[in-house]
Amino acid sequence: MANQKDIHLYTAPTSNGWKPIIFLEEAGIKYDITSIDFAKKEQKAPEYLKLNPNGRIPTIIDRSNNNFVVFESGAILWYLAEKYNRFLPKNSDDKSLTLQWLMFQMANIGPIMGQAMYFQRIAAKLGEQHPFAIKRYVKESRRLMEILNTHLKGRQYLVADEYTVADIATYPWARAYYWAKLSVDGLPHLNAWFDRIDAREATQRALEIPEPFWAFFGKGDIEELERENAERFKDDV
């Protein structure tokens, strides 16, 4: 169809789901979006599994590249960065550093903070108490935030003092420290980095697409949103 955009994004309002939206909004790229409803298990529908065999979000189809499909949020960011030549340093060393910090988020911050959120905001809400797991994941999440804080000393952003896909990937996770019941007190460089990205209009706009989930950031009716979220994922316990 003539009015179709090159990029068709399948996503939902989660830390991973916001990553490609932040990129596209910051880059000013028009895109089509399909919101995936977890409550209806649309991510497990046969047609969606043909695009993303892991049954997760986000996923993109690049219509300008023979409907090429990319899944996994970090891979999507890298693909978009190379396609549009945005948010990726040109210097080879800085490009490698960007990939390293992107992988740091994918392999560490996302999985660890995700478990801290799950055991406290979903499992516990549904009556499943796992204090050992909670202590483990919250403590490890704090350690990862301390690594970011140390690295950000004297830096505006994670790599080369420019906003890159490493920042785009890390921000919606690290900034959701409230939802992980994680303290970031005493981490001035991390908090200054939060402030810089909080001030980016396009990034903040992206956090409202396809819809906001302000509880991640300690806003709104936390108790009600926590209840709704736990109910949505109750079959995962």
Please name the helix (run of DSSP H) or strand (run of DSSP E) that holds residue 166, with its range, or none: helix 165-174
User: For residue 47, is it within any domain?
Assistant: yes
- The pLDDT value recorded for residue 237 is 56
User: For residue 51, is it within any domain?
Assistant: yes
- The pLDDT value recorded for residue 234 is 76
Same-domain status, 117 and 208: yes
Antiparallel, parallel or unpaired: β 59-62 and 31-35: unpaired
User: For residue 2, is it within any domain?
Assistant: no
Antiparallel, parallel or unpaired: β 31-35 and 68-71: unpaired
Same-domain status, 133 and 74: no
User: For residue 1, is it within any domain?
Assistant: no
Same-domain status, 154 and 59: no
Length of the chain: 237
Same-domain status, 187 and 104: yes
How many whole angstroms separate alpha carbon 121 and alpha carbon 228?
10
Please name the helix (run of DSSP H) or strand (run of DSSP E) that holds residue 229, with its range, or none: helix 222-232
How many whole angstroms separate alpha carbon 125 and alpha carbon 45?
27
Q: Give the neighbor-by-neighbor strand order of the sheet with 68-71.
A: 31-35, 7-11, 59-62, 68-71
Same-domain status, 44 and 161: no
- Best CA proximity match to 206, nearest among 29, 59, 6: 29
Same-domain status, 98 and 154: yes
Please name the helix (run of DSSP H) or strand (run of DSSP E) that holds residue 104, with its range, or none: helix 92-104
Same-domain status, 15 and 60: yes
Q: How far is CA 97 from the centre of its chain?
A: 19
- The pLDDT value recorded for residue 143 is 98
- The pLDDT value recorded for residue 78 is 98
- The pLDDT value recorded for residue 1 is 53
* CATH code for the domain of 67: 3.40.30.10
Domain count, the chain: 2
Same-domain status, 128 and 14: no
- Of the residues 28, 61, 84, the one at which a domain ends: 84
User: For residue 185, is it within any domain?
Assistant: yes
CB 97 within 8 A of CB 160: yes
User: For residue 192, is it within any domain?
Assistant: yes
How many whole angstroms separate alpha carbon 76 and alpha carbon 16?
11
Same-domain status, 116 and 175: yes
How many whole angstroms separate alpha carbon 127 and alpha carbon 141?
23
C-alpha distances in angstroms, 4 versus 81, 86, 160? 21, 22, 35
Structure tokens at 194: 């939060």
The reported pTM is: 0.96
User: pLDDT tens per residue, the chain (237 residues)?
Assistant: 568 999 999 999 999 999 999 999 999 999 999 999 998 999 999 999 999 999 999 999 999 999 999 999 999 999 999 999 999 999 999 999 999 999 999 999 999 999 999 999 999 999 999 999 999 999 999 999 999 999 999 999 999 999 999 999 999 999 999 999 999 999 999 999 999 999 999 999 999 999 999 999 999 999 998 988 898 887 765
- Of the residues 84, 119, 141, the one at which a domain ends: 84
Same-domain status, 162 and 227: yes
Q: Phi and psi (nearest 5°) for 59? A: -145, 145
Using only C-alpha atoms, the chain has a radius of gyration, in whole angstroms, of 18
Give me the domain span that covers residue 135.
92-236
CB 216 within 8 A of CB 179: yes
Instruction: Name, in order, each residue with C-beta under 8 angstroms of 142's C-beta and a sequence gap of 6 or more.
Output: 182, 183
